[in-house]
Amino acid sequence: MNTIKTPSKIILFGEHAVVDGYPAISMALDLKTTGEIEENFDTISIDLVDLNEIFEITPELIKNLEISNFSPALKYVICAVKSVIFYLSEFKNLKEIKPFKLKLYSEIPLSCGLGSSASVVVTVIRSISNFYGIELDNDETINLAYSVEKEVQGRASVTDTATISLGGMIEIINGKYKPMPKDLEEFIKTCKFLVVNVEERTRKTAELVHDVSKHPEKEQIFEEIGKIIQNVRQVTDKAELGKLMNENHELLKKFGISTEKLDLVAKAGQKYAYGGKLTGAGGGGSAIILLKEDREELLKELKKIGVIGIYECKMAN
Ligand code: MEV
């Protein structure tokens, strides 16, 4: 049996600005999806272990399978299976679609901006290409995963697929991704983050992106966020990094995409840790806090606020 592990992601700085061609910095997170793949007798079998959903089909029927009637999670997985098999057959000389059994497990909370779907899609792509003994490079994996996300959800973010495929820390600008300087990555590796799943998202990413695009001070705010990112490139100290997170949160608030609870959690991070901000599109979802060694007061405060889940995380390779 072959096992593949794929990280999740957070946007550290620059969400929304990145949609307009400004830079963003994102980081792979050590909450992971695991894929276990092995030969099967006569069918392609997919087992979403945590969701208790099993799907089975013969290899002959997978290529033309219509995904619209499946559950949200199976839509991503089946679309990824179809896409990678199509790609390997068309461009990588895969002759025979041997049956396999793929089990997927995930530690990543759903629908809160941590890239759970991109992580599952990348796991499926890598598990299947490995199973057939064909290596896909990072760009091929990122492009395939991006097209799956786009097909299933209508819009997709290269931030998610690139960060999750490459691991570590990357900068995204104008739809292109590049690694961050090694010394900055080494410093961020020493940081511990609390990822707080604050509340269910009440607004869709597309709607929030649209609202931001209409904001009268958009350019000015994005310029300010761009300056924060320039400062992040030089940062060597956790207190300074936390301060930049706080500043980014205040700028995002101006767009009206934060919520009362996201603000409370960010404030708790600002008061009881090095800093805090919302991460991702906003409208609910997640916040990140840069942790200090002592977390007692912070955890008490989060308990008082009442959040869905908290995860202590660090950068994943
Ligand atoms: C959503 O996770 C992040 C946004 O910047 C949208 C995107 O980058 O596609 C709001």
Cα of 208 vs centre of ligand 1, distance in Å, is: 9
- The CATH fold assigned to 2-173 is Ribosomal Protein S5; domain 2 (3.30.230)
Task: Say what the pLDDT of residue 111 is.
Answer: 83
Task: Say what the pLDDT of residue 53 is.
Answer: 97
Token pair of 188 as six digits:
């961020």
Question: Exposed (0-12), middle (13-18) or buried (19+): which is 314, by Cβ within 10 Å?
Answer: middle
Radius of gyration of the chain (CA): 20
Residue 112 reports pLDDT greater than 90: no
Q: Average pLDDT over the chain, rounded to whole?
A: 96
Dihedrals phi, psi of 133, to nearest 5 degrees:
70, 30
Task: Say what the pLDDT of residue 25 is.
Answer: 98
The type of residue at 88 is L
Task: Say what the pLDDT of residue 137 is.
Answer: 97
Q: How far apart are CA 258 and CA 195, in angstroms?
A: 16
Is position 160 annotated as part of the catalytic site? yes
**Sign of the dihedral through C-alpha 110, 114, 118, 119:** negative
Give the number of C-alpha atoms closer than 13 A to the C-alpha of residue 201, restricted to the C-beta side. Answer: 23
Query: Is the Cβ–Cβ distance between 202 and 153 less than 8 Å?
Result: no
- Taking only the tens place, the pLDDT of each residue in 43-57 is 999 999 999 999 999
Q: How far apart are CA 265 and CA 253, in angstroms?
A: 13
- What is the percentage of the chain residues whose pLDDT exceeds 70? 100
- Taking only the tens place, the pLDDT of each residue in 216-260 is 999 999 999 999 999 999 999 999 999 999 999 999 999 999 999
Ligand 1 near 209 CB (within 6 A): yes
Ligand 1 near 159 CB (within 6 A): yes
Angle, helices 238-253/218-234, rounded to nearest 10 degrees: 170
What is the β-pairing status of strands 100-106 and 44-48? parallel
Residue 48 assigned ligand-binding role = no
Residue 213 assigned ligand-binding role = no
Residue 155 reports pLDDT greater than 90: no
Residue 270 reports pLDDT greater than 90: yes
Q: What atom in ligand 1 is closest to the CA of residue 16? A: 5
Residue 83 assigned ligand-binding role = no
Residues of the chain with CATH 3.30.230.10: 2-173
Query: Is the Cβ–Cβ distance between 317 and 169 less than 8 Å?
Result: no
Nearest Cα to Cα of residue 12 among 200, 289, 210, 213: 289
- Taking only the tens place, the pLDDT of each residue in 193-219 is 999 999 999 999 999 999 999 999 999
Ligand 1 near 18 CB (within 6 A): yes
Ligand 1 near 281 CB (within 6 A): yes
Q: What atom in ligand 1 is closest to the CA of residue 209? A: 10
In terms of CATH architecture, what is 182-313? 2-Layer Sandwich (3.30)
Residue 114 reports pLDDT greater than 90: yes
What average pLDDT does range 15-26 have in this prediction? 97
3-class DSSP state of 197: strand
Residues of the chain with CATH 3.30.70.890: 182-313
Work out the angle at residue 154's Cα, subtended by the Cα atoms of residues 206 and 176, and round it to the nearest 5 degrees: 80
- How many C-beta atoms lie closer than 10 Å to residue 153's C-beta? 16
What average pLDDT does range 150-163 have in this prediction? 93
Residue 115 assigned ligand-binding role = yes
Residue 62 reports pLDDT greater than 90: yes
What is the β-pairing status of strands 309-313 and 275-279? unpaired
Q: What atom in ligand 1 is closest to the CA of residue 279? A: 2
Residue 139 reports pLDDT greater than 90: yes
Ligand 1 near 26 CB (within 6 A): no
- Taking only the tens place, the pLDDT of each residue in 69-107 is 999 999 999 999 999 999 999 999 999 999 999 999 999
3-class DSSP state of 190: coil
Nearest Cα to Cα of residue 122 among 101, 134, 107, 140: 140
Q: How far apart are CA 283 and CA 42, in angstroms?
A: 45
- Taking only the tens place, the pLDDT of each residue in 283-301 is 999 999 999 999 999 999 9
Question: The pTM is what?
Answer: 0.95
Nearest Cα to Cα of residue 81 among 96, 68, 64, 93: 64
